[in-house]
């Protein structure tokens, strides 16, 4: 197993409505959902890409901040 990517960049997701879903997708050949987090308005999640998580899908109105910039998801 690779070393944990503890120093990987963080990204921030702030829910702008109730019921925003942050879904983690697995790294590797098999791309599937492995975690779903529900955020209500005003809740913020701070997370990293890891050896388990290569992609994140966000559903709902949220402000997403990454080192690549800021996105408002609707
Ligand atoms: N156990 C997951 C991991 O280490 C936790 C996690 C990290 C996660 N980043 C995420 C879950 C982003 C959902 C979305 O990969």
Residue to mutate, 53, 54, 64, ligand 1, most ligand atoms under 8 Å from C-beta: 53
CA distance 11 to 19: 19
pLDDT confidence of residue 6: 81
The pLDDT, as a whole number, for residue 45 is 98
* pLDDT tens column, 16-65: 999 999 999 999 999 999 999 999 999 999 999 999 999 999 999 999 99
Tell me what pLDDT residue 5 has. Answer: 73
CB environment 57-73: b (16+ within 10 A), e (fewer): ebebbbebeeeeeeeee
Query: Residue 4 C-alpha to ligand 1 middle, in angstroms?
Result: 12
Pocket (CB within 6 angstroms of ligand 1): 22, 24, 35, 37, 47-48, 50, 52-53, 56
């Amino acid at each position: 197993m690779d070393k944990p990517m503890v120093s990987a960049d963080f990204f921030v997701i702030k829910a702008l409505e109730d019921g925003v879903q942050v879904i983690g997708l697995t790294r590797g050949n098999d791309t599937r959902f492995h975690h779903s987090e529900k955020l209500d308005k005003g809740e913020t999640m701070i997370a990293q890409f890891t050896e388990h998580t290569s992609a994140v899908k966000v559903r709902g109105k949220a402000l997403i901040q990454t080192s690549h910039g800021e996105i408002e998801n609707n």
